[in-house]
Protein backbone atom coordinates (compact mmCIF):
# COMPACT_ATOMS: atom_id res chain seq x y z
CA UNK A 1 0.00 0.00 0.00
CA UNK A 2 1.41 3.37 -1.04
CA UNK A 3 0.84 6.83 0.32
CA UNK A 4 -1.96 8.60 -1.53
CA UNK A 5 0.21 11.75 -1.55
CA UNK A 6 2.16 10.28 -4.47
CA UNK A 7 -0.79 11.27 -6.68
CA UNK A 8 -0.83 14.91 -5.50
CA UNK A 9 -0.12 17.74 -7.89
CA UNK A 10 1.01 21.20 -6.71
CA UNK A 11 -1.69 23.16 -8.52
CA UNK A 12 -4.67 24.89 -6.95
CA UNK A 13 -7.96 23.28 -7.93
CA UNK A 14 -10.56 25.16 -9.96
CA UNK A 15 -13.42 23.50 -8.07
CA UNK A 16 -15.91 25.36 -5.88
CA UNK A 17 -15.62 24.92 -2.13
CA UNK A 18 -17.85 22.04 -1.06
CA UNK A 19 -17.87 20.44 -4.52
CA UNK A 20 -18.44 16.71 -4.67
CA UNK A 21 -15.37 16.42 -6.89
CA UNK A 22 -13.12 16.74 -3.84
CA UNK A 23 -14.64 13.66 -2.26
CA UNK A 24 -14.42 11.63 -5.44
CA UNK A 25 -10.80 12.69 -5.90
CA UNK A 26 -9.88 11.75 -2.35
CA UNK A 27 -11.61 8.37 -2.56
CA UNK A 28 -9.92 7.60 -5.86
CA UNK A 29 -6.43 8.51 -4.63
CA UNK A 30 -6.91 6.35 -1.55
CA UNK A 31 -7.96 3.40 -3.66
CA UNK A 32 -5.07 3.89 -6.10
CA UNK A 33 -2.66 3.96 -3.13
CA UNK A 34 -4.35 0.93 -1.69
CA UNK A 35 -3.90 -0.92 -4.98
CA UNK A 36 -0.27 0.23 -5.23
CA UNK A 37 -0.63 1.58 -8.74
CA UNK A 38 2.40 3.77 -9.45
CA UNK A 39 1.72 7.03 -11.35
CA UNK A 40 3.96 5.73 -14.16
CA UNK A 41 1.57 2.83 -14.76
CA UNK A 42 -1.59 4.92 -14.58
CA UNK A 43 -3.22 6.84 -17.43
CA UNK A 44 -5.95 9.27 -16.45
CA UNK A 45 -8.28 10.19 -19.30
CA UNK A 46 -10.99 12.81 -19.39
CA UNK A 47 -13.08 15.03 -21.59
CA UNK A 48 -14.11 18.57 -20.67
CA UNK A 49 -16.02 19.94 -17.70
CA UNK A 50 -15.31 20.46 -14.02
CA UNK A 51 -15.19 16.70 -13.38
CA UNK A 52 -12.87 16.30 -16.36
CA UNK A 53 -10.29 18.43 -14.55
CA UNK A 54 -9.66 15.64 -12.05
CA UNK A 55 -6.72 14.23 -14.07
CA UNK A 56 -5.17 17.71 -14.02
CA UNK A 57 -4.88 17.32 -10.26
CA UNK A 58 -3.73 13.71 -10.26
CA UNK A 59 -0.12 12.73 -10.71
CA UNK A 60 -0.19 10.18 -13.55
CA UNK A 61 -0.03 10.16 -17.30
CA UNK A 62 -2.84 12.31 -18.63
CA UNK A 63 -4.93 12.56 -21.76
CA UNK A 64 -7.30 15.45 -21.15
CA UNK A 65 -9.05 15.37 -24.51
CA UNK A 66 -12.25 16.80 -25.95
CA UNK A 67 -15.70 17.17 -24.52
CA UNK A 68 -17.50 13.85 -24.88
CA UNK A 69 -14.54 12.04 -26.39
CA UNK A 70 -12.84 10.53 -23.37
CA UNK A 71 -14.02 6.97 -23.95
CA UNK A 72 -12.71 6.44 -27.51
CA UNK A 73 -9.37 7.84 -26.37
CA UNK A 74 -9.28 5.56 -23.31
CA UNK A 75 -10.16 2.50 -25.37
CA UNK A 76 -7.31 3.25 -27.78
CA UNK A 77 -4.86 3.91 -24.95
CA UNK A 78 -5.58 0.55 -23.39
CA UNK A 79 -5.38 -1.15 -26.80
CA UNK A 80 -1.89 0.27 -27.36
CA UNK A 81 -0.55 -0.73 -23.96
CA UNK A 82 -2.69 -3.24 -22.05
CA UNK A 83 -0.25 -3.13 -19.13
CA UNK A 84 -1.46 0.32 -18.13
CA UNK A 85 -4.28 1.04 -15.70
CA UNK A 86 -6.65 3.34 -17.57
CA UNK A 87 -9.20 5.39 -15.68
CA UNK A 88 -11.66 7.82 -17.24
CA UNK A 89 -13.18 10.55 -15.11
CA UNK A 90 -15.67 12.92 -16.66
CA UNK A 91 -19.10 14.29 -15.99
CA UNK A 92 -22.62 13.26 -16.92
CA UNK A 93 -22.88 15.81 -19.72
CA UNK A 94 -19.55 14.79 -21.20
CA UNK A 95 -20.09 11.04 -20.96
CA UNK A 96 -23.83 10.57 -21.50
CA UNK A 97 -24.65 13.71 -23.51
CA UNK A 98 -21.92 14.78 -25.91
CA UNK A 99 -20.34 11.33 -25.75
CA UNK A 100 -23.49 9.21 -25.90
CA UNK A 101 -22.53 7.23 -29.00
CA UNK A 102 -19.05 6.60 -27.65
CA UNK A 103 -20.54 5.38 -24.37
CA UNK A 104 -22.62 2.77 -26.20
CA UNK A 105 -19.87 1.73 -28.60
CA UNK A 106 -17.14 1.31 -26.00
CA UNK A 107 -19.39 -0.83 -23.81
CA UNK A 108 -19.83 -3.12 -26.81
CA UNK A 109 -16.05 -3.51 -27.09
CA UNK A 110 -15.48 -4.19 -23.37
CA UNK A 111 -12.04 -2.54 -23.11
CA UNK A 112 -10.38 -3.05 -19.73
CA UNK A 113 -10.92 0.49 -18.47
CA UNK A 114 -12.65 2.09 -15.50
CA UNK A 115 -15.20 4.76 -16.31
CA UNK A 116 -15.98 7.03 -13.37
CA UNK A 117 -18.81 9.39 -14.23
CA UNK A 118 -19.34 12.34 -11.92
CA UNK A 119 -23.12 12.62 -12.11
CA UNK A 120 -24.36 15.86 -10.56
CA UNK A 121 -27.44 16.02 -12.79
CA UNK A 122 -26.53 19.45 -14.09
CA UNK A 123 -24.10 21.26 -16.38
CA UNK A 124 -21.75 22.98 -13.95
CA UNK A 125 -19.02 24.63 -16.02
CA UNK A 126 -21.51 26.17 -18.47
CA UNK A 127 -23.43 27.49 -15.46
CA UNK A 128 -26.42 25.41 -14.71
CA UNK A 129 -28.28 24.03 -17.74
CA UNK A 130 -29.97 20.63 -17.66
CA UNK A 131 -27.85 17.53 -18.21
CA UNK A 132 -29.05 14.21 -19.64
CA UNK A 133 -29.58 12.95 -16.08
CA UNK A 134 -31.45 16.01 -14.75
CA UNK A 135 -34.73 15.04 -13.19
CA UNK A 136 -37.97 16.19 -14.77
CA UNK A 137 -39.26 19.57 -13.74
CA UNK A 138 -35.92 21.13 -12.75
CA UNK A 139 -35.94 24.77 -13.87
CA UNK A 140 -32.79 26.32 -15.28
CA UNK A 141 -31.88 29.38 -17.32
CA UNK A 142 -32.51 27.33 -20.44
CA UNK A 143 -35.11 24.84 -19.24
CA UNK A 144 -37.30 27.76 -18.13
CA UNK A 145 -40.43 25.61 -18.20
CA UNK A 146 -38.69 22.82 -16.34
CA UNK A 147 -36.90 19.79 -17.74
CA UNK A 148 -39.22 17.89 -20.08
CA UNK A 149 -36.90 15.05 -21.13
CA UNK A 150 -36.98 11.66 -19.50
CA UNK A 151 -33.79 11.41 -17.44
CA UNK A 152 -31.07 9.25 -18.96
CA UNK A 153 -30.58 6.06 -16.98
CA UNK A 154 -26.91 5.17 -17.45
CA UNK A 155 -27.04 1.98 -15.41
CA UNK A 156 -30.01 0.49 -17.24
CA UNK A 157 -28.46 1.44 -20.57
CA UNK A 158 -25.08 -0.04 -19.63
CA UNK A 159 -26.64 -3.29 -18.43
CA UNK A 160 -28.77 -3.49 -21.59
CA UNK A 161 -25.69 -2.91 -23.72
CA UNK A 162 -23.82 -5.75 -22.06
CA UNK A 163 -21.43 -3.82 -19.82
CA UNK A 164 -19.49 -6.23 -17.63
CA UNK A 165 -19.38 -4.05 -14.51
CA UNK A 166 -22.10 -1.56 -13.59
CA UNK A 167 -22.25 0.33 -10.31
CA UNK A 168 -23.53 3.49 -8.71
CA UNK A 169 -22.39 5.23 -5.56
CA UNK A 170 -22.99 8.50 -3.81
CA UNK A 171 -19.66 10.21 -3.25
CA UNK A 172 -20.64 11.23 0.29
CA UNK A 173 -20.71 7.53 1.20
CA UNK A 174 -16.91 7.36 1.19
CA UNK A 175 -16.77 3.80 2.42
CA UNK A 176 -18.93 2.38 -0.37
CA UNK A 177 -17.37 4.68 -2.97
CA UNK A 178 -13.89 3.35 -2.21
CA UNK A 179 -15.05 -0.23 -2.10
CA UNK A 180 -16.77 0.10 -5.49
CA UNK A 181 -13.89 2.06 -7.08
CA UNK A 182 -11.53 -0.67 -6.01
CA UNK A 183 -13.72 -3.42 -7.43
CA UNK A 184 -14.16 -1.46 -10.67
CA UNK A 185 -10.43 -0.97 -11.18
CA UNK A 186 -9.76 -4.62 -10.37
CA UNK A 187 -12.49 -5.74 -12.78
CA UNK A 188 -11.12 -7.00 -16.06
CA UNK A 189 -13.25 -5.31 -18.68
CA UNK A 190 -15.29 -2.15 -18.99
CA UNK A 191 -16.42 -0.89 -15.59
CA UNK A 192 -18.94 1.91 -15.20
CA UNK A 193 -19.24 3.70 -11.87
CA UNK A 194 -21.90 6.38 -11.96
CA UNK A 195 -21.14 8.64 -9.01
CA UNK A 196 -23.88 10.79 -7.58
CA UNK A 197 -22.43 14.07 -6.47
CA UNK A 198 -23.68 17.46 -5.50
CA UNK A 199 -23.01 20.61 -7.51
CA UNK A 200 -23.14 23.18 -4.74
CA UNK A 201 -23.15 26.14 -7.12
CA UNK A 202 -25.56 25.07 -9.85
CA UNK A 203 -27.89 22.35 -8.63
CA UNK A 204 -30.15 23.49 -5.83
CA UNK A 205 -32.40 20.44 -6.14
CA UNK A 206 -30.03 17.49 -5.79
CA UNK A 207 -28.16 18.63 -2.71
CA UNK A 208 -26.12 16.56 -0.27
CA UNK A 209 -29.22 16.19 1.85
CA UNK A 210 -31.26 15.12 -1.18
CA UNK A 211 -28.75 12.38 -1.98
CA UNK A 212 -28.76 11.20 1.62
CA UNK A 213 -32.54 11.08 1.62
CA UNK A 214 -32.93 9.52 -1.81
CA UNK A 215 -30.27 6.82 -1.92
CA UNK A 216 -29.84 3.54 -0.10
CA UNK A 217 -27.32 0.72 -0.33
CA UNK A 218 -28.17 -2.34 -2.37
CA UNK A 219 -28.35 -5.25 0.07
CA UNK A 220 -28.63 -8.93 -0.70
CA UNK A 221 -28.47 -8.32 -4.44
CA UNK A 222 -26.85 -10.94 -6.68
CA UNK A 223 -24.72 -8.93 -9.15
CA UNK A 224 -24.46 -11.87 -11.56
CA UNK A 225 -28.22 -11.79 -12.14
CA UNK A 226 -28.57 -9.50 -15.14
CA UNK A 227 -32.36 -9.39 -15.18
CA UNK A 228 -32.47 -8.47 -11.53
CA UNK A 229 -29.69 -5.94 -12.06
CA UNK A 230 -31.74 -4.29 -14.78
CA UNK A 231 -34.80 -4.21 -12.52
CA UNK A 232 -32.89 -2.62 -9.65
CA UNK A 233 -31.23 -0.14 -12.00
CA UNK A 234 -34.67 0.93 -13.19
CA UNK A 235 -35.81 1.96 -9.71
CA UNK A 236 -36.74 5.62 -9.41
CA UNK A 237 -37.59 7.86 -6.46
CA UNK A 238 -35.10 6.30 -4.07
CA UNK A 239 -31.97 5.15 -5.84
CA UNK A 240 -30.02 2.06 -4.81
CA UNK A 241 -26.23 2.30 -4.69
CA UNK A 242 -23.64 -0.46 -5.03
CA UNK A 243 -22.61 -2.98 -7.66
CA UNK A 244 -25.62 -3.81 -9.82
CA UNK A 245 -23.97 -6.11 -12.30
CA UNK A 246 -20.66 -7.89 -12.63
CA UNK A 247 -19.57 -10.47 -15.16
CA UNK A 248 -16.02 -11.82 -15.11
CA UNK A 249 -14.27 -13.67 -17.88
CA UNK A 250 -15.66 -11.97 -20.96
CA UNK A 251 -12.83 -11.21 -23.43
CA UNK A 252 -11.75 -7.60 -23.47
CA UNK A 253 -11.18 -5.58 -26.65
CA UNK A 254 -7.44 -6.07 -26.18
CA UNK A 255 -7.91 -9.84 -25.86
CA UNK A 256 -9.48 -9.92 -29.31
CA UNK A 257 -6.52 -8.28 -31.04
CA UNK A 258 -4.38 -10.78 -32.96
CA UNK A 259 -1.24 -8.75 -32.32
CA UNK A 260 -1.39 -9.61 -28.62
CA UNK A 261 -1.77 -13.30 -29.32
CA UNK A 262 1.85 -13.50 -30.44
CA UNK A 263 3.31 -11.05 -27.92
CA UNK A 264 2.06 -9.10 -24.93
CA UNK A 265 4.48 -6.25 -25.54
CA UNK A 266 2.96 -2.76 -25.84
CA UNK A 267 3.01 -1.18 -29.29
CA UNK A 268 5.65 1.44 -28.53
CA UNK A 269 8.28 -1.26 -27.94
CA UNK A 270 7.70 -2.88 -31.32
CA UNK A 271 9.23 -1.92 -34.59
CA UNK A 272 8.11 -2.51 -38.13
CA UNK A 273 9.08 -5.94 -39.39
CA UNK A 274 10.27 -5.28 -42.92
CA UNK A 275 10.17 -8.95 -43.91
CA UNK A 276 6.50 -9.16 -43.07
CA UNK A 277 5.68 -6.08 -45.09
CA UNK A 278 7.76 -7.42 -47.97
CA UNK A 279 5.81 -10.66 -47.82
CA UNK A 280 2.60 -8.69 -48.01
CA UNK A 281 3.94 -6.77 -50.99
CA UNK A 282 4.65 -10.07 -52.68
CA UNK A 283 1.03 -11.05 -52.17
CA UNK A 284 -0.05 -8.19 -54.48
CA UNK A 285 2.03 -9.34 -57.40
CA UNK A 286 -1.13 -10.83 -58.81
CA UNK A 287 -4.83 -10.50 -58.13
Q: How far apart are the first and last CA of the chain?
A: 59
CA dihedral (237, 94, 44, 55) positive or negative: negative
Tell me the CA distances in angstroms from 174 to 22, 25, 35, 95, 159, one per residue in order.
11, 11, 17, 23, 24
Q: Is 9 in the site for another protein (CB under 8 A)?
A: yes
Which lies closer to another protein via its Cβ, residue 144 or residue 263? Answer: 263
Q: Is 12 in the site for another protein (CB under 8 A)?
A: no
Tell me the CA distances in angstroms from 132 to 67, 86, 104, 147, one per residue in order.
15, 25, 15, 10
* Most distant CA atoms of the chain, gap in Å: 72
Smallest separation (angstroms) from another protein to the CB of 148:
27
Region 224-283 residues binding another protein, contact defined as CB under 8 A: 257-259, 262-263, 266-274, 276-281
For another protein, the binding residue among 53, 168, 187, 232 (CB under 8 A) is 53
CA dihedral (172, 192, 226, 159) positive or negative: positive
Region 14-43 residues binding another protein, contact defined as CB under 8 A: 14, 39-41, 43
For another protein, the binding residue among 33, 104, 135, 200 (CB under 8 A) is 104
CA dihedral (108, 257, 192, 103) positive or negative: negative
DSSP-derived 3-state class of residue 125: coil
How many residues line the site for another protein (CB under 8 A)?
59
Which lies closer to another protein via its Cβ, residue 11 or residue 238? Answer: 11
For another protein, the binding residue among 28, 31, 60, 88 (CB under 8 A) is 60
Instruction: Please report, as ranges, the residues that interact with another protein according to CB under 8 A.
Output: 9, 11, 14, 39-41, 43, 45, 48, 53, 56, 59-66, 69, 72-77, 79-81, 83-84, 101-102, 104-105, 257-259, 262-263, 266-274, 276-281, 284-287
Amino acid sequence: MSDQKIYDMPHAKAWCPGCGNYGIHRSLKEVLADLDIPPQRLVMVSGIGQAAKLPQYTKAHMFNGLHGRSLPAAMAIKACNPGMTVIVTSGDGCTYGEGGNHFLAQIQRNPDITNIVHNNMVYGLTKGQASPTSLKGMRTKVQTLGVMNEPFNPLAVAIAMGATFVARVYQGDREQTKEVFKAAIEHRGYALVDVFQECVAMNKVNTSQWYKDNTYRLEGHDPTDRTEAFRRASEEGRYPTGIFYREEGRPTFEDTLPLYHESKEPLYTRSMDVDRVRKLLDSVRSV
